[in-house]
Amino acid sequence: MNFQLSKFILAIVIPIYHIGILPTMAVQEDNSPSELQNIEALRSVSMGLNKFAAEFYKHTSENMGSNLICSPFSAGAVLSMTAHGAAGNTEQQMRTSLHLPNDRAIGLRGFQSLFETLNNVTNVQLSLANKIFVTKDLEVKDNFLNLTANSFKSEVENLDFTNTQVASKKINTWCEEKTKNLIKDVIKAEDLIDAVMVLVNAVYFKGIWETKFDPSKTLNKTFYINENTTNDVPMMRQRNKFNYGELSELDAVFVELPYKSENENDSTSMFIICPNQINGLKKAQNNIENVDFQQLHDQHQMTEIQLSLPKFQIESTLDLKPILKNMGMTDMFDNADFSGISNIQLSVAKVIQKAFIEVNEEGSEAAAITAVHMVRTSMFLRPEPLELSIDRPFIYAIYHAPTNSILFQGHILHLSA
CATH number at residue 359: 3.30.497.10
Q: Residues 325-347: what's their mean pLDDT?
A: 94
Q: Residues 199-223: what's their mean pLDDT?
A: 93
- 386 or 278: which leads in pLDDT: 278
Q: Residues 374-395: what's their mean pLDDT?
A: 75
Q: Is the pLDDT of residue 302 over 70?
A: yes
Residue 185 forms part of a structural domain: yes
How far apart, in whole angstroms, are the C-alpha atoms of residue 60 and residue 54? 10
Q: 273-292, pLDDT tens digit by residue?
A: 999 999 999 999 999 999 99
Q: Residues 228-239: what's their mean pLDDT?
A: 96
User: End-to-end alpha-carbon separation of the chain, Å?
Assistant: 52
Looking at residue 382, what is its pLDDT? 47
Whether this prediction's pTM lies above 0.85 is answered by: yes
Strand (E) or helix (H) holding 195 = strand 195-208
Provide the H-helix boundaries in 23-133. Answer: 33-61, 72-83, 88-98, 104-118
Band of pLDDT at residue 13, cut at 50, 70 and 90? low
Band of pLDDT at residue 4, cut at 50, 70 and 90? very low
Looking at residue 24, what is its pLDDT? 33
Share of the chain above pLDDT 70, in %: 89
Give the number of domains in the chain: 1
Residue 269 forms part of a structural domain: yes
Share of the chain above pLDDT 90, in %: 70
Question: Amino acid letter at 296?
Answer: L
Q: Is the pLDDT of residue 315 over 80?
A: yes
Find, among 272, 374, 257, 271, the residue nearest to 321 by Cα. Answer: 374
Q: Do residues 354 and 316 make contact, with C-beta atoms less than 8 angstroms apart?
A: yes
Write the burial class of residue 36 (CB in 10 Å: 0-12 exposed, 13-18 middle, 19+ buried): exposed
Q: 254-270, pLDDT tens digit by residue?
A: 999 999 987 766 789 99
Looking at residue 6, what is its pLDDT? 58
Q: 185-198, pLDDT tens digit by residue?
A: 999 999 998 889 99
Looking at residue 125, what is its pLDDT? 85
Find, among 74, 312, 67, the residue nearest to 186 by Cα. Answer: 74
Q: 95-115, pLDDT tens digit by residue?
A: 999 999 999 999 999 999 999
How far apart, in whole angstroms, are the C-alpha atoms of residue 312 and residue 412? 9
Backbone angles phi, psi at 388, to 5 degrees: -125, 110
Residue 1 forms part of a structural domain: no
Name the 3-class secondary structure at 215: helix
Name the 3-class secondary structure at 383: coil
How far apart, in whole angstroms, are the C-alpha atoms of residue 370 and residue 56? 13
Task: List, in order, residues 6 or more apart from 35 with CB less than 8 Å away.
Answer: 28
Residue 417 forms part of a structural domain: no
Looking at residue 8, what is its pLDDT? 66
Q: Residues 287-310: what's their mean pLDDT?
A: 94
Range of lowest pLDDT (53-57, 241-245, 382-386): 382-386
Q: Is the pLDDT of residue 10 over 80?
A: no
Q: Is the pLDDT of residue 20 over 60?
A: no
Q: 68-97, pLDDT tens digit by residue?
A: 999 999 999 999 999 999 999 999 999 999
Q: What's the domain range around 295?
A: 6-412
Q: Residues 138-153: what's their mean pLDDT?
A: 94
How far apart, in whole angstroms, are the C-alpha atoms of residue 257 and residue 243? 8
Q: Is the pLDDT of residue 2 over 80?
A: no
Residue 339 forms part of a structural domain: yes
